[in-house]
Each structure stands twice: as structure tokens, then as C-alpha cells.
Structure 1
Amino acid sequence: MKSFDETLALFADENSRKALRTMHRGIEREALRIAPDGKLAMTPHPQALGAALTHSRITTDYSESLMEFITPVYEDIGQLLTGLTETHAYAVQHLNGEKLWPVSMPCYVGDERDIPISWYGTSNTGTLKRTYRKGLTYRYGALMQIIAGVHFNFSVDDAVWQHLYQHSDKQLPLKDFISERYFDLIRNYRRTVWVLPYLFGASPALCRSFLKEQRTDLKFLQHSKGTLYLPHATSLRMSDLGYTNKEQETLSINYNSLNEYLSGIKAAIHMPSKKFADIGVKVDGEYRQLNANILQIENEFYAPIRAKRVVKRGEKPSEALCRAGVQYIEVRALDVNPFSPIGINACQVRFLDLFLLYCLFTPSPVIDADGEKELAANLKAVVMEGRKPQLTLSRNQQAVTLQQWLGEIFDGMRRIAALIDGDGKEYLQALDYWQQAVADPEMTLSGRIWQTLTDTGLDHGTWMRQLSEQYYQQLKQQPLSDAVTASFEAEAAASLEQQLQIEQADTLTFDEYLAAYFGNKQSMDEPVH
């Protein structure tokens, strides 16, 4: 692979710089619905928003209360965020006074057993999706499953791949070359993923009520009467309290190539788990989970980044990757930004563009077992104490301060920004904004959150309720054009009709459907987590 300098030099002319500016992005933002009293909403997904099973922009994740807003793919950042804002606004205007919780970690959750699992109708496809979520409940508990996040989908333009390919040794077909380079990106991302919780981590504190009876070795301090925190934490969402799975630590899935990754996934979905077998699969005629393997399906594999390709009907994600290679990557390490009504802002998007291009352009050797331990330790250190002065990480088994390493990454991204900006300054300005946080951890999102809690003396939950009301009013009053409103109304109606058609088309019992699904028949739909 070429050096970082050599790769940058390939984009020195205006035509290749223009290709580099053409990036394709999509956002998936999760948000809990809360009742007017601030507690978790127990109402069904509103029918006015269509069917969660089939709607392309408004759906649910684990719970009926955990909404997910999905954008189409955009090249223009302004259009991307406008589309996401319109989806939020239309939803809020049809929630009958319910609001959206503006941060990742839940609060005011009553009995965990009352958290409503998502309902997708009576079809076999819908039943499979719901049963998968029941399995998550039995395996990990419901609280972990209602932690919200933001997913960022990203790909470079075909012209960039053609340009890079023309300047490669061409030993691989183009499709395989693209997959190989995306896995280069993924490995570098995993080495430096700690950058994202450092800058964008937004869960340094949580409501005491979230812990319930959960045991933890974390040495929490208390702020006000209802808030627990760690002094230098950035993203408790990404800690052992959050979206993790210890059972999966036994898996040996690596990202050194697409083939090795797919082999690891295949082994994992067929690997029995004694712990999960004790739950039972079908008990007294009712399914508790889809199977007793370490992964019920591929989507249960928790990772801060995924290689993706749009699936055809009947394909599993790994089958799509095997068929045609990597099409885009999904960044999954982002907390909900409580300073934005839609959970993310343009300055973050531009930083993500630069960061992912930096990961793509930087040479990316394979990662061995020691490297895996090192990157896991770095991520844990930043999640738990990323704002600690002079925090030391490990790079190639050598100690380096977070500030030094981050400064070097910013230097590389600044050179990419200069290529992309041309006559503009938007990317350099985004870097300038986040550069403040390199030297001053209090300029990170987690630092700003903690400063607000300190300055106001508010409980975390009280402040979040105030923000949820503020954003509710803002989105409630967001003007939507007649065309936008008509588009949402039409899709809601079409999604309900499509769900009905799926239900009416079923000919198999669920037992038969499940057997066929895991037997790899091509008439089944893959549930999306």
C-alpha cells in the first residue's frame, strides 16, 4: 500500500479532488419516546407513522419506545441534515405530546420487565424480528437494549475507487480491491476509534435509576441526588454498562480481510453457547430466542464499525458481502449529541468525513492478537477516563499521550481538508473547532455536558427533561412543506399496506419458516437490528 503522502499526492489535480469531495452518507438516529411525565413511553408505535416493519425512514429498534430515524443516502451534508430534521419534525408532530429523550443513556425507567419489545405484526418476518429481540432480552436484559446511539453510513465515490485502482498494482479485480481497501480503513478505524468517544462521547454521567440492581465495579461519584458520574469519563454508553456482550469475547473475528471476517462470522452463528442454551429456545410452546448459539443472527455481533452492502431480498448481510464485496461502512461508536435536536450536527459530519478518509489513506498493517488487546485497552481507557490530563495510550506497544497521538491525526486530517475545501473553508473550520478539544478536554461533548451539570447544579435527568421539552417545541413548530408532509403520509399508508400484504402472503408456520431461514432458503427476509 502507498504511504499517506503518496496517496494524498494522487489527489493533487482538480478532477481527482472533485471526486474526493463526492462522499455518500446516511444517518440512523435512535431516540427513546418519553411520556409527558418524563418516564419511558409505554404506548405502541403510532399508527400515523406507518408500519415499523416496512417504513424506510421511521421505524423502531429493540423497543416500541426506541424510535429510529433513517435518512436516504445523500452527497450534500445540508440535504442530509435537513432530511433528518424533517423526519424528526414529522414524527414529533404525530406523537400526541410524547417527546424524544435527547441523550443516549435512558432515565426514569420503571420495571425493566415492562419495557415493551417492538411489534412488527403477525407475519413470519415480523415474528422473527420480535423473537430475535426477545432473545436479546433473555440474554442481556432490556435496559442495555434501550441505550440509544447514532450510526453514520459512509462511502467514497466510484471515481475515487477507479482513481486509486489505476494507481495500484491491479493484482486484484476492482471489486476485491475496494473490499480490501475498506478493510484497511476498518482496521485503522479500530486502532483509533477512541478518537470518537473522546470528542463525541456524550455520556459521562447517568441517572442513578438506570443501574437498578445491576452490580458494577465502577467507582461512581454522585452529583446532586440522582446523578452518578466518573470524573473523566466520556462515553459510559460504550463501557461495560452499555452496549457490550461478554459472551462474544470468546469469538475470534478479525478484520484482516473480507474472507477472514466472513469466516469468523459464519463460525460464530453456528457456535453453541452453554449459557444461552440454559435459557431454552422454545419453552411451553413459545420462543424465547431464535437459537442457543453465541449469535442468534449476524446482527447480534456488536462492533463499533461494520462492513456493509445493501442486501437483496432473501440475503443475509454476509451473503451480500460475499456476493459483491463491501459497498460502504457503518460507524456505530457515536453517542447521541444532546446539543442537537437531531442528535448530530454538520461539524461532526465533516469531522467524520475527514477521519474516515484519514483511516483510508493511512497504511494499515494487519492486526495480531497483541494488537487486538492494545486497541481494546485504548478504547476502554478513553471511554472511562478520556478527559484525564496527560492520559497515556499504547501505540505499537509504546506509550504515547492521547494529546500527542490526536495531534498527529489532526495534522493528517488537516492536509485532507485542504484538498477537499478548495476555495471554501468548511472542513478546515470544522477541524479548527474540534482542535480546541485536543488541548482542552472540557471542549469535548462530555466536557461540555459535565460543565453544564456543574454550573447549573441540575440532576442529569432534570436537565435532559428540559432539553427534551425545548427540542419538542422546536420540532413541533418546524415548518414542513406540503410536499414533504404528503410524502410522509404516503409512505405511512404504503408501509401499512405492505405489512398487510406480507402477512397475507405467508404460507408457512413459524416453525417451518424458522427452519427454512436457517436452512438458507432464499425466500426469507433478514431482520435488521
Structure 2
Amino acid sequence: MQPAGFSAQLSRGIEKEALRIKPNGQLADSPHPKNLGSALTHSYITTDYSESLLEFITPVEQNTKKSIEQLLDLHKFSYQQHPNELLWPMSMPCFVGKEDDIQLAYYGESNIGKMKTLYREGLKHRYGSYMQVISGVHFNFSFPISFWQAWAKDKGQDCCKDMISCGYLSVLRNVKRHLWVLAYLFGASPALCSSFLKDKKSNFPFEKIGKGTLYLPYATSLRMSDLGYTNKAQSSLGIRYNQLDEYIAGIKKAIKMPSADFAHIPYGKNGDYKQLNNNVLQIENEYYSPVRPKRVTLSGEKPSEALERDGIQYIEIRALDIDPFSPAGVSEDQVKFLDLFLTWCALVESPELHASDEFLNTANMQQTLLYGRKPNVKLKRDDQDISLTDWALDIFAELKIIAEIFDQDSTNKAYQLALEKQLAKINNSDLTPSAKIINQLLEQNIDNGALGMQLAKQYQAEANTRGFYQFDPEYLNQETQKSFDKQVSIEASDKLDFTDFLQAYFAD
């Protein structure tokens, strides 16, 4: 284990999505605001699937408080630039009309910009637009080199990039085994607006409240369920985190494997593009894994090529709902718990995962997503039934040891306090964000949309009454102009037409 002070060396970056909405609670239909900069090149503010889906990106930091304050500043900047719009504070979307009302994100006229938009058009034709306006938090995390040096020494190995990659894969396997912990503690989407389903049939035993809110009484995260940001067809790909070369080979195979399901969607014949190609994955980003190995890419480099070049640099946790009770969508206590949880995932044994293991992990996750707060709900550990509470308490006993070590040089015992807040949720499910949402809806007899509007207005008002914490507004305005300059430069540097550009991109 690391000496005290190690926690100050952990690096984190946060990507938080938020739908822009009108004062009436409906999805904003305006383009991405120009005074927020170029969605293609801005360092901190971009869009995801649609023009209305903002994404705020914090730089890599070691200070948790600073990261949260940066997120709050980016929210405030957005409110200032577009005072007549709100930011939706929940993962499942607000009221959405027709799919065509959801405008695809536009990134300009450069080849790379057109490719990003066309990729999203492919998602629309493959899975529909509704799934693409679900919001979440992506948490990027890395250990300092000193951690891996100690990790390697403990295993009698040399610390090198291959060993570090093996270490991160070990962490990712354990995260997948215990992803249900995050779903229970931080799942915050137990209800949704019925407009999200439209005429689609669902086998879920939904109950109804208000004018059109559907919910499951014990659910934690519908966003992570089959209704949300998942793709069951991809589970058959067999992409696993046992060996890095195995993972890279699996990804490369999927982006070259034609899919009969998507063959009917045009992809270039007579210049008609409705998707990038008809393969199982158009590009690597289409692989909807709740966790991913990552490395910062060079210009024009694919994610798998970056991993092949120099190994895993950090990991990305994609299974986090937006916390509607935090103005930033994520809290310091949550980040501190993730520090403890991911460190624990690095320290405990992590055997390879195979098909039967993946099936068990998925079953535990689905049970938690739909019934996680049901009294005495059971999961499977080593093929044996165990209550979610008992298993969680076993894990928390080990997390407590790590928290005490992290707090050795601390006077405020921040990690132990953060852990105690999460432990309280294990002992009382009413303290989870999913339960707090359901309880408020039932007590006030209101729709999920009404609660979302209450919180959205509250957070906008709070932002307007405080100053900036970390980002100077003039600096953000300068970043806006610089982003447009970068976009112009990229567009001017294109030498190929779009068809030739795509052929070159997929030529390898």
C-alpha cells in the first residue's frame, strides 16, 4: 500500500453532459450557442450527440475540489451566455417530441467535422435518437507512477508500460465485477418521461405518477438498463479486458465486421451517406462499454492505435448517472469514494473474465439497476446467493482500511467521512439518490419533469448569484474565440474531398 499523501497524486478528469432546455421544460431546438465556441475544438465545452446536448470537460487535476469548481464555472458560463435556457439536471431526458426534433451535432465543414456529424447520423439510423439524448458523467482516472512501481515490486515485476497496462486491465475487470456497487450508490434515474418510450413496448412493470412519469419502485438507474445507453448486440463481440492485445484485436475486428442489421442503411453509394459504414461498429467510440482503457491520442490517431503505441494511460468510468442533487452533477464525496473504490479494485485479486463471468456480472448489474433497493435483494457471488447489503458491507470493510491510510496526514479525515456517507446508503436505501427522487415524486405527486425543472431553476439562480471559482470568464471568452480560429485552420488545411478522406481513414 502507498504511504500517506498518495491520494493527492491521483489524477482525474470529468466529462459531464447536460441537455439545454427551454423554460417550458422541453428540449431546446436552437443550434449550439456560438458564444460557447466551436464544438469541434473548444477545450472545455462541446456537444455530444445533438446540438442541445452540452458536454463540459475539466482538465486533468489532482485536486478534487478544483475539478468540481471548474464544472460549476462551466455551468455558470453557459447560463451567462444563454440566460433564457436551463440545463437539465437529470440523466434521463426531459420531454422530447419527435425524433426529428433532435438536431444532430454540427462540427463545421472540415472533413473531421463532417465525419463526427455523419457518425451521429449513423447512430440515429441504427439505434434511434432518443437513446442519444441520455446524459451521464464520464470519470477519467489514473494512478501516479509511484503506485505502479510499488504494485510491480509487490508482484516481483519490473515497472514498465506493459506492466502498467496489465495493472489497469486488472482494475477494469474488478470494476466490471463490482459495477453494481456504483449503480446502487449513484444510480439516479429510477423514473422517466413517457415521451421517451413513445410507442415502444417495454416488458418492465412500470408504475405511473403525475401526468406521464413512469417509474420502477426499486430501480436505481434506468439509464444503464436495456432502456438506456446500452447495446445488447455488442455483448456477442466478446471484447474483454484480459490482455491488451486481445482487447485491441477485438475492437479492430468489430470495426471491420459487416453487420446484416445495418446493411440497409446507405453509406456512400452515389454519394448518399447515412452512416460511416455498415460494420458492427462504425468507429471505436461506438463500443458502449461502461468502462474503457484509454490513452490520449495523437492527431489523426484511433484510440486502439494509441493503446497499441504506448499502452494504457488512464481508465474511463462511463456508468455514472448525473446526480440531480448536486449543481455540478457530481460531488466531491462521490469522487473520493471513486478514488477508494478504484484503488481497492487495483489491490484485490482480479482473475481473467470469460463468457460465464461476464454473464454473471451482467445479471448482478441488471438486478441492481431494476431492483437494487428492494429489501434483501440477492446477487450472485462465486455462484452463491448473497444479499446486496452483505456483499457491500464486506467491500466497505476493506475500503475503510484504504480510507484510513489516505487520511493519515489529513486533519479533516475527508476520505473516511466520504466513505461513511456511502455506507449510510448501504444501511438505509432511502438515502440513495434514486430513492430520494422516487420519494419526492410520490410525496409531492409530481412528474419527474416537474422535479427536474425545480432543480434546474434552483441551480441557475445559485450560479447567477455567485462568482467564478477557478476559470476567469475573460479566459473562457478567449477560449471561445481561439476555438473558432482552430476550426477555421482545420477547415483550411483539408486536402481531400470527404469520400477520399473516409477511404483514407478506414484504409488501415
Verify: 1:389 aligned to 2:375, yes or no: yes
Verify: 1:322 aligned to 2:270, yes or no: no
Please point out which of 109, 124, 136 is paired with 1:122.
109
What per-residue deviation string (whole Å, max 9, x for no partner) do you get for residues 366-421 of structure 1?
A: 11221111001000000011001101100111111100110011111110000001
Equivalent in the alignment of 2:84: 97
Equivalent in the alignment of 1:434: 422
Are the equivalent residues in 2 in contact too, given 1:150–1:334 (CA < 8 A)?
A: yes
Are the equivalent residues in 2 in contact too, given 1:232–1:386 (CA < 8 A)?
A: yes
Please point out which of 56, 71, 79 is paired with 1:69.
56
Per-residue deviation at 1:308? 0.5
Verify: 1:350 aligned to 2:336, yes or no: yes
What per-residue deviation string (whole Å, max 9, x for no partner) do you get for residues 6-42 of structure 1?
A: xx4xx3xxxx332344110110000000012211001
What per-residue deviation string (whole Å, max 9, x for no partner) do you get for residues 108-152 of structure 1?
A: 111111200000000101000000000000000000000000011
Equivalent in the alignment of 1:488: 476
Per-residue deviation at 1:283? 5.5
Question: How many Å separate the matches in 2 of 1:378 and 1:81?
Answer: 31
Question: How many Å separate the matches in 2 of 1:283 and 1:406?
Answer: 54
Identity %: 48
Are the equivalent residues in 2 in contact too, given 1:24–1:74 (CA < 8 A)?
A: yes
Question: How many Å separate the matches in 2 of 1:459 and 1:481?
Answer: 34
Question: How many Å separate the matches in 2 of 1:228 and 1:284?
Answer: 44
Q: What secondary structure is seen at the aligned counterpart in 2 of 1:119?
A: coil
Equivalent in the alignment of 2:93: 106
Please point out which of 483, 496, 500 is paired with 1:508.
496
Aligned length: 506
What per-residue deviation string (whole Å, max 9, x for no partner) do you get for residues 31-68 of structure 1?
A: 00001221100101111111000001000000000000
Question: How many Å separate the matches in 2 of 1:206 and 1:481?
Answer: 33
Equivalent in the alignment of 2:146: 159
Are the equivalent residues in 2 in contact too, given 1:20–1:157 (CA < 8 A)?
A: no
Equivalent in the alignment of 1:81: 68
What per-residue deviation string (whole Å, max 9, x for no partner) do you get for residues 464-484 of structure 1?
A: 111111111112333137971
Question: How many Å separate the matches in 2 of 1:485 and 1:108?
Answer: 32
Question: How many Å separate the matches in 2 of 1:366 and 1:249?
Answer: 17
What per-residue deviation string (whole Å, max 9, x for no partner) do you get for residues 70-105 of structure 1?
A: 000110111111111111111111014111001000
Q: What secondary structure is seen at the aligned counterpart in 1 of 2:14?
A: strand
Equivalent in the alignment of 1:233: 219
Equivalent in the alignment of 1:445: 433
2:15 partner letter: E
Are the equivalent residues in 2 in contact too, given 1:256–1:366 (CA < 8 A)?
A: yes
Summarize the Cα distance change of 1:138–1:211 in structure 2 as closer, same or farther, 3 Å threshold.
Answer: same
Summarize the Cα distance change of 1:483–1:248 in structure 2 as closer, same or farther, 3 Å threshold.
Answer: closer
Question: How many Å separate the matches in 1 of 2:375 and 2:200?
Answer: 30
Q: What secondary structure is seen at the aligned counterpart in 2 of 1:318?
A: helix
Summarize the Cα distance change of 1:294–1:440 in structure 2 as closer, same or farther, 3 Å threshold.
Answer: same
TM-score, normalised to structure 2, is 0.97
Please point out which of 136, 144, 161 is paired with 2:123.
136
Equivalent in the alignment of 2:193: 207
Are the equivalent residues in 2 in contact too, given 1:124–1:513 (CA < 8 A)?
A: yes
Equivalent in the alignment of 1:18: 5
User: 4+ residue runs of structure 1 moved beyond 6 angstroms?
Assistant: none
RMSD: 1.3
Are the equivalent residues in 2 in contact too, given 1:93–1:475 (CA < 8 A)?
A: no
1:166 partner letter: K
Q: What secondary structure is seen at the aligned counterpart in 1 of 2:188?
A: coil
Question: How many Å separate the matches in 2 of 1:379 and 1:41?
Answer: 33
TM-score, normalised to structure 1, is 0.94
Question: How many Å separate the matches in 1 of 2:330 and 2:118?
Answer: 31
What per-residue deviation string (whole Å, max 9, x for no partner) do you get for residues 226-257 of structure 1?
A: 21111110000011110011221221111111
1:110 partner letter: G
Verify: 1:51 aligned to 2:38, yes or no: yes
What per-residue deviation string (whole Å, max 9, x for no partner) do you get for residues 480-516 of structure 1?
A: 3797111101110000011011111111110000000
Q: Residues 265-414 of structure 1: matches in 2 within 5 Å? A: 265-282=251-268, 285-414=271-400
Verify: 1:460 aligned to 2:460, yes or no: no
Are the equivalent residues in 2 in contact too, given 1:51–1:495 (CA < 8 A)?
A: yes
Per-residue deviation at 1:225? 2.1
1:392 partner letter: K
